[in-house]
Amino acid sequence: MRFRPPQLPQARKDGYIYTRNTNPTVHAFEEKVRLLEGAEASTSFSTGMAAISNTLFTLLSPGNRVVSLKDTYGGTSKIFMEFLPRFQVQVTLCDTTDHEAIEATMPEGCQLLYLESPTNPTLKVIDLARLAAAGRKVGAIVVVDNTFATPINQSPLDLGAHLVIHSATKFLGGHADALGGVVCGAEDLVERIFHFGEINGASLDPMAAYLLLRGMKTLHLRIRQQNESALKIARYLEKHPFV
């Protein structure tokens, strides 16, 4: 669902009043991704990085600590290394595939565990279920960037995540002609992220939402073919004498 702002006393009716807050085409895109991810709620943004940054700045406060990976997407890493420390948020980046190190550092304090698998662009894969369980054990909010896997190949919410993020610019859209981002997951968390986003203004443009909806009609076909092609290439290279 898309969260609508509380009605002010002078408001005369509910509905789509102002597109920065709510829009029917944008809502249709959010609902489609929500259903694909099996989430309680979803909200969208103008880009994938807008979805990531709004999520982080909504859920983290000065004095908090976030634990993540060294191989996250470049823009995400920039937020971790440059921007969050300016707001007195402590960031610990662990070797991406060292699950033991990630688990060992969380009991020292962790309000948010941010994961990405496969990573962009290094394509490293981590055990999301194992790390999500460890994050929940210490009371952390577990966020997973599912952009590269897509809902066709992976369901982070079923593996223990509280929130899942997509840069819809990539596989969801599929045509390289629209920017967008989306966050899905627990309703109470998504409602907070939506409110932060609507006030700070990184709203998804309705035309971009339309283009993303068009692209998602072929998502399952594109991902299926990409999976088959990648497996054939991998099997060929595995047997090649020069590899």
Residue 20 designated active-site: yes
Among the options 20, 137, 224, 232, which is catalytic? 20
Q: 202 near 52, Cβ under 8 Å? A: no
Q: 155 near 185, Cβ under 8 Å? A: no
- β-bridge pairing 41-45 and 90-94: unpaired
Residue 145 designated active-site: yes
Nearest CA to 44 out of 60, 61, 22 is that of 22
Nearest CA to 199 out of 86, 83, 57 is that of 57
- Please, where are the H alpha helices in 138-186? 150-153
Residue 222 designated active-site: no
Q: CA torsion 149→153→156→158, rounded to 10°?
A: 180
Nearest 5°: the CA angle 226, 128, 223 is 10
Residue 170 designated active-site: yes
Nearest CA to 36 out of 136, 135, 146 is that of 146
Rounded Cα distance between 148 and 23, Å, is 27
Among the options 32, 34, 65, 73, which is catalytic? 73
Among the options 78, 170, 214, 222, which is catalytic? 170
Among the options 32, 65, 71, 145, which is catalytic? 145
Q: Which residue has the tokens 């899942």?
A: 164
Q: Would you name the residues annotated as active-site residues?
A: 20, 73, 145, 170
